Amino acid sequence: MNTLKAVLFLFVFSFSSILSFSQEGGDKLIGVWEPSNGKAKVKIEKIGSKYYGKIVWLKEPIDPETGKPKVDRNNPDESMRSTPIKGYRMLKDFEYTGKKEWSEGTIYDPENGSTYSSTIKMKDENTLDIRGFIGVSALGRTDVWKRLQMPKRK
Amino acid sequence: MKGSINSKLFLATCLALFSFLPTKVLAQVDSTYVEEEEDYSIYDDLEFVDGDAKRFASAKIKGLSPAKLISLGYDYQMGHDITAGAYKSFVEESAQITAVHGVRAQANIPVISKNSLIIQLGARFWDVNYEFEDEASLYHPLLTTLANNNLRTVGLNSTIFKPLNENSFLLFQVSADMNGDYSIPEFQGLNYNRYSAAALWGKRPSDYKQWAIGVSRTYRAGELNYIPVILYNWTSVSNTWGTEILFPARAHLRYTLNPRNMLFVGFELEGNSYRVGNQNNAFVDPFDGTKDELEIRRGELRFRFKYERQLIGFFWLSAQAGCRVNYSYNVDDVPNGTDFYRGFFGDQPLAMQNTLSNPFYFNVSINLVSP
């Protein structure tokens, strides 16, 4: 019976340790963020050990040409061109590397159908520098994203 | 009882081991589109945690052709006539050029690229090789110089884009070019460098349009000029048609087959001031031994069709073909490289008045682009 208690304790301890460790580190990325152009809101979540971001809001959700919700019409993969932009996972596979940085990820730009290598740096708890680049980090561009929250009740 | 404890122990151990399994194995993350039903309306009214975010005008609009970060190309003008004007004791001479061709390599790398500021640094190397019919019979010093030596450009440039707010911006461009018939690595002196600059203020009223006005110091017409410039980039809502204009440097109408295939029709004004006489004594006066310091004021209009398409990933092909129309190929005496401004109304005499006929040309390049 003591052995059972020991194993259960080990389980609970290890689970809570992992949870608290990750929350203190990489999980600070989790939340809803707005890119600098204000055209979208992106919800970053953790799946497994990696971080992903999907588009959850669009400033202009309707395609002015078709009058229908925007789809990923610029995707190089023809089979994806009818996929709705809302719900699209534009950030993929980010791994927390410590020091408030996430790397090894990709960022997709629906406006031109390009996928860039990407790194994320947290400037402060509510500000991200997201850099998309081609091959080497020097060939890239950095965008500033701001954290969003539910409106405070007055 | 013991069996019961053992089964509980097994269960607990499995649970403990299970907790260490990589959760990636359990999660389905390979789908780009998130299929699950979610009430997206909960995100409508979110607000910034720490006050408003400052917004800046983007340097681009929708549908523009991709910016070329690194480019390696080849330019070829077909056969045409040249007439070198009378110069000192040399009378006018006409000759047949069979081809003008050369390599063009350039790079524009963003050293700072964020939403509040973009600074690009660039470098280029252009080589222009003149092939003459019956070279041995040439006697005019300009023609022998062109036949024997390539015209080259080694240049550095910088572009600065500074958004002022969400829909207005400043744009600056500066460049320093060493143009001449020098050999490498025996470059000509820095006092012969030619400097160009432009400053524009503009608006970006929507994702489909940006415009700007400004002034420039330019050698695109061959000799030094100070002229107004107008930028006008526009894309139709359907992303099928558009314009890419930086007048008078270039103006193109764009037809987009898809974001990875684009057709253009338009023109580019291309040119610079090239020092000649670096490598031989062609311009030494045979009577008094003095050497003129001459510069070809080369300016040409290239009316063209252009096709740009993605090859793979961020590598794009650019192919253009059209007619090269001579605007200026005159020669000025520029002692010690100290340039002067003639403008449209100046009366400084030309050292040589030359004419070129207008051949067809093509240009092909492979580019690493930033879409």
Do B214 and B229 touch, CB atoms closer than 8 A? yes
As a whole number of angstroms, the distance between CA B292 and CA B334 comes to 8
Please state, in angstroms and rounded to a whole number, the distance separating the CA atoms of residues B351 and B344: 17
Express each pLDDT in A106-152 by its tens digit: 999 998 899 999 999 999 999 999 999 998 998 999 999 999 998 87
- In angstroms, what is the C-alpha Rg of chain B? 29
Q: Is A67 on the interface with B (CB under 8 A)?
A: no
Q: Is the pLDDT of residue B21 over 60?
A: no
The A residues from 37 to 66 touching B (CB cutoff 8 Å) are: 37-38, 41, 43, 47-50, 52, 54, 56-57, 64-65
Residues of chain A with Cβ-Cβ distance to B113 below 8 Å are: 140-142
Mean pLDDT within B355-367: 97
The whole-number average pLDDT for the span A21-46 is: 87
Examine the pLDDT at B84 and tell me if it is beyond 90: yes
Whether residue B288 has pLDDT greater than 80: no
Token pair belonging to B215:
């002034």
Which tens digits make up the pLDDT trace of B183-197?
888 889 899 999 999
The predicted structure's pLDDT at residue A13: 44
Mean pLDDT of B30-56: 79
Over residues B93-124, the pLDDT tens digits come to 999 999 999 999 999 999 999 999 999 999 99
Chain A residues touching B368 at Cβ < 8 A? 134, 139
B67-370 under CATH 3.30.390, yes or no = no
What's the pLDDT at B344? 79
- Print burial letters for B144-155: b (CB count within 10 Å at least 16), e (below 16): bbbbebbbbbbb
Q: What φ, ψ does residue B31 adopt, rounded to 5°?
A: -85, 135
The winner for highest mean pLDDT among A61-70, B179-188, B230-239, B289-298 is B230-239
* Residues contacting residue A78 through CB under 8 Å, at least 6 positions apart: none
The answer to whether B231 and B212 are in contact (CB under 8 A) is yes
So where are chain B's domains?
Answer: 67-370
* Closest by Cβ to B19, choosing from A14, A88, A134: A14
Least confident stretch, A43-57, A121-135, B272-286: B272-286
* Mean pLDDT in residue range A10-25: 49
Q: What are phi and psi of A16, to 5 degrees?
A: -70, -30
Q: How many Cα atoms occupy the beta-carbon half-sphere of B356 within 13 Å?
A: 28
Q: What's residue B166's pLDDT?
A: 93
- Tell me the domains of chain A and their CATH numbers: 27-148 (2.40.128.520)
Q: Do B371 and A114 touch (CB under 8 A)?
A: yes
Contact A47 B27 (CB under 8 A): yes
Is residue B108 within 8 Å of B367, Cβ to Cβ?
no
Average pLDDT of span B34-48: 82
Confidence of residue A1 (pLDDT cuts 50, 70, 90): very low
Does B34 contact A87 at a Cβ distance shorter than 8 Å? yes
Q: What is the pLDDT of residues B132-167, one digit of tens each?
A: 999 999 999 999 999 999 999 999 999 999 999 999
Least Cα distance to B335 among B143, B184, B189 occurs for B189
Nearest CA of chain A to the CA of B116: how many Å? Answer: 9
CA B296 to each of CA B127, B181, B216, B273: distance values in angstroms, whole numbers, following the listed order: 15, 10, 21, 6
Q: Sort out which chain A residues have CB atoms less than 8 A from B12's CB and list them.
A: 4, 7-8, 11
Query: Hey, is B345 helix, strand or coil?
Result: coil
Cβ contact B40–A86 (<8 Å): yes
At B204, is the secondary structure helix, strand, or coil? strand
In a mutational test of the B interface, the residue from A1, A3, A58 whose CB has the highest number of chain B CBs within 10 Å is A3
DSSP letter assigned to residue A9? H
Q: Which residues of B touch A142 (CB under 8 A)?
A: 113-115
Element (H, E) at A2: helix A2-24
Helices (H), chain B: 2-20, 23-26, 141-148
Strands (E) in A37-113, as ranges, are 40-47, 50-58, 89-98, 101-109
Nearest to B57 by CA among B200, B245, B244: B200
